[in-house]
Structures are given as structure tokens and as C-alpha cells.
Amino acid sequence: MTDDGTDRLLVYGAYGYTGRLIVEAAAERGFDPIAAGRDPARTRGVATAHDVPARSFKVRGAESHLGGVDAVLNCAGPFSETADAMVDACLATGTDYLDITGELPVFERIRRRDSDAQREGVTLLPGVGFDVVPTDCLAAHLHDRLPEADHLSLALEAEGGVSPGTLKTVLTGLGDGGAIRRDGVLRHERVAARTRVVDFGDGLRRAVSIPWGDVSTAYHTTGIPDIEVYLSAPSSARAGMKLASYLGGGLDSEAVQRGLSWLIDRYVDGPDTETRTSGEARVWGEARTGDTRVVSRIRTPETYHFTVESALLVAEKVLADAPIGYQTPASAFGPELVLELEGVERVDLEAGEVVEHASSPGATVPAE
């Protein structure tokens, strides 16, 4: 808590692409955030630019640097390398933990810390950005529409580029393969093993299965036992994803990862201001049981713009009052959370019979 009685938010990874945007917006809105990161010079640069305090430390030494901090917002990916140590530090210091991960294994590991968080009175709420706020809220909304649903399908389509951190996260996780949930249990399969055609509201798109965080989070939020997530992509990207799923193990070597990381740092930057301002993303969801299904869609601002807004909205709510233990965005704040963000629209389609069920691996499902 600061001298004026306000709660203090620490943004770790403040000099990354998304971290910089969040610190800038948080400072403008009176959060008085602490900019934090591993590199002292880059951390001070962000802090100086926005006239906020700076703290520099490696994530494995975070515990001794969280004094006076009420919540940590971890923006330093790949989160497979930062989340566990930061969660440990937050539990040791009674500090609430948030992050913007979309990494399925990270959600699963943090979920297993629920009893620790309950004991320490701490909120653990990963995925407060585009990964996975809109999809988690849509999953909860579909479950409200069809409480007896036993199958959930989600699909995404986004405009704009990706940040260096996101690309590193994707490359780091290639060797892990894809995942779906069946009978409440995670089942691993190749990325892009499943295909279906989805109507996002502006025409049909072909989408392939991906291991999005909702394979973990939507199960926690809704209890629906069968879950799969799809990404709309052009044919070249779909082919590349399928190829990468076969090459994933060969891309896991430390030398290859170091080389790819260097290339990303050298040549990749995130979406520019115009793209973040004008772009948008679309989310489609279907819940079903037997011969009954419901379909809803959400349209949001561009993914990085959305992430800044949603992360700060959730941080504000957590700092004010949040349920303790492991949470998802919708389990903590309900399916209407996403509609509190400017520029978000949700449309419900009428319930109807299922004509074709979800695809089997490699198959194509006809349009709705």
C-alpha cells in the first residue's frame, strides 16, 4: 500500500512489449505501478519514461523484492520459466498473483497450488489478457445458457502481428504438442490434428485445433468434461502448424532455441499503434449435449490492446477484493467481466439441434 492508502501493483517484465504498454496505461490511470524486471537498465528506462518506481531482480529472487506490493502482474514470458518462481514468492509474502500467460502447462501447474493459496489467503489468477479472458467468459456464458452441456468448442480469429515474447512462447512450446480434454482428462495430440469450419459472424473460416489455455481454464470454470479450442488461420499457416507439430522435438534443443530467440529479438517487434487501435479479434463458442447446442460469439478490440485493458481491469478488481485460491477470470468475476471492457460485443445464436458433431483428428466439419 502506498503512502496515500492505495494498493500497489508491481508489473514484472515491464520492458517487454506488452509490459511496457501496461506500465504506460497503469501510470496514466493512477495505479502508481512499480516497473520491475531482470535487466536493471531496461527496467529503469521504462520507469523513468513513466515516472514510476523501479525494482530490478531475477524472478527466482523475487521474494525479497515484494515488500509493500499487494499484487504482482507477471508479463515476463515464456511463463514456463517465470510463473512458478513468482507464484512461490507471492505465496511466501501473501501477495496476489496475476499474469497474461496462455501456456496450458502453466495454468495446470498454478491450479495445483490452490490449497497453498487458500492457506495463505492469496489469489492466483493467471491468464488476465486476451489469453484467456474472452474465451473463459464465453465458456462461462455458454454454460449458463446450457448448464447440462458436456462438450465445449471454442475458436479464435485475430488481426495484427505478434510480439517477440509471444513468438518465443510459441517456439518454446512446440515440442509439447497439442491438447484437448476428454472426460475431464487432458489428452495430448498433435497441434492442428483437428479441423472445423467456423462462422465468426462475417463469413466461414477454416480453423485447426491448438492447445489454448481454455483446455485447462474452461474446465475449471464450467466443469464441462470435453473441451477443444481452434484457431482460424490461412492455409499456409495451417500447413506450417502441422509441420511444426512434427518438428517440435527437433526445435527443443538449447542451441536451436537460443538461435531462434536471438533472431526474434533482432527482427521482430509487436503490432504498431495503428494496428492496435484499429484491429479486432473474434471468438466463437459452442456448448452442446446430445442433440441440443447453443452458440455465442464475442468481438473484441485487437488482442494486445485488449490485453492491456483486461489486465488492468482485473488488477483493479483483485486489488479491491477477489476470491482467494486459484481462479480463472470468469470464476472470479463472472461471464459478464469481458463486457465491462470498451469495444466488446457478445451475440447469442438461438439454440438448435446438432447437425454434425466436432471433428475427429484430421477431419473437416461442415459449416453451421
* pLDDT tens track for 51-109: 999 999 999 999 999 999 999 999 998 899 999 999 999 999 999 999 999 999 999 99
Instruction: Compute the distance between CA of residue 293 and CA of residue 73 in angstroms, rounded to an integer.
Output: 37
User: Which range has the worst mean pLDDT, 9-13, 247-251, 331-335?
Assistant: 247-251
Instruction: Compute the distance between CA of residue 157 and CA of residue 15 in angstroms, rounded to an integer.
Output: 27
User: Which range has the worst mean pLDDT, 138-142, 178-182, 189-193, 225-229?
Assistant: 189-193
Can you tell me which residue has the cell 506500465? 23
What is the DSSP code string of 122-180? Answer: -EEE---BTTBHHHHHHHHHHHHH-TT--EEEEEEEE-S---HHHHHHHHHTGGG-EEE
Would you say 86 and 12 are in contact if contact means Cβ atoms under 8 Å apart?
yes
pLDDT for 102-123, tens place per residue?
999 999 999 999 999 999 999 9
pLDDT for 9-29, tens place per residue?
999 999 999 999 999 999 999
pLDDT for 259-318, tens place per residue?
545 554 554 456 677 767 778 999 999 999 999 999 999 999 999 999 999 999 999 999
Q: What is the CA radius of gyration of the chain?
A: 20
Q: How confident is the model at residue 247 (pLDDT cuts 50, 70, 90)?
A: low
Closest CA to 210 of 240, 236, 189, 239: 189
Count of helix runs (H) and strand runs (E) in the chain: 13, 17
pLDDT at residue 274 in the model: 73
Check whether 230 has a pLDDT greater than 50: yes
Domains of the chain: 9-129+305-334 (3.40.50.720), 133-302+340-353 (3.30.360.10)
Instruction: Compute the distance between CA of residue 316 and CA of residue 7 in angstroms, rounded to an integer.
Output: 9
* Percent of residues, the chain, with pLDDT higher than 70: 77
